[in-house]
Chains A and B, each alone.
Chain A
Amino acid sequence: EDQVTQSPEALRLQEGESSSLNCSYTVSGLRGLFWYRQDPGKGPEFLFTLYSAGEEKEKERLKATLTKKESFLHITAPKPEDSATYLCAVQAGWDSGNTPLVFGKGTRLSVIA
């Protein structure tokens, strides 16, 4: 069974204090690993897709990396507006069409000014 585990569950940072969020996964053939940001009561906002081990992607203060067993979301010099829940999801299989995403429970990030 495909599984995603995110840690920590919650993280509190001072503004400017860099840190990393972890996403460990087991999947029967990784098609893609996804990071989303979710604000309270809103839908997830797409951030990154990673497809193979060693791949890295950056967007503003965020950088996502991927190994064969886990992904990290590095946050450099965070600001209060980066406060949100960050969700990791995997998509398995190589069949045609889109297989469903399997999500972790998310990491709740709070950045204090």
Chain B
Amino acid sequence: DAGVTQSPTHLIKTRGQQVTLRCSPKSGHDTVSWYQQALGQGPQFIFQYYEEEERQRGNFPDRFSGHQFPNYSSELNVNALLLGDSALYLCASSRDDDTEAFFGQGTRLTVV
């Protein structure tokens, strides 16, 4: 079992650019959640996808958007990047009928 995989592992973008991060859930999982983790902080919930729909959303601006595909994989898009968007972006997958969530290794985004 490959577990939750995220790509890329690192990337550097310039302010104002757009970025797309990708996540493949653990086998058998149908729910994908995205979190942002700033240095020295706990992860903050961005949004959750289930059945290709955004089911819940945290306190993040509309610049953050996402998508879930029929194979349950997911993308996180961030437009008009700000320096403050620099963080570790984490994808977590779970089964809709189960509370336990498993995380990927994260994507380290640096905005310069």
Which residues of chain B in 56-103 are interfacial with respect to chain A, using CB atoms and an 8 Å cutoff? 56, 58, 88, 90, 92, 94, 96, 98-103
Closest chain B CB from A37 CB (angstroms) = 11
Instruction: Count chain B residues whose beta carbon lies closer than 8 angstroms to a beta carbon of A.
Output: 31
Contact between A100 and B105 (Cβ–Cβ < 8 Å)? Answer: no
Complex interface: chain B residues within 8 A of A34 (CB): 100-101
How large, as a class, is the contact surface on chain A? 20 to 34
Contact between B90 and A99 (Cβ–Cβ < 8 Å)? Answer: no
Given A43-B90, A104-B42, is A99 in contact with B103 using a C-beta cutoff of 8 Å?
Answer: no
Contact between B101 and A46 (Cβ–Cβ < 8 Å)? Answer: yes
Distance, CA A42 to CA B6, complexed state (A):
11
Given A42-B106, A87-B42, A101-B43, is A32 in contact with B99 using a C-beta cutoff of 8 Å?
Answer: yes
| Residues of B participating in the A interface, judged by any CB pair closer than 8 Å | 4, 6, 31, 33, 35, 40-45, 48, 50, 55-56, 58, 88, 90, 92, 94, 96, 98-106, 108
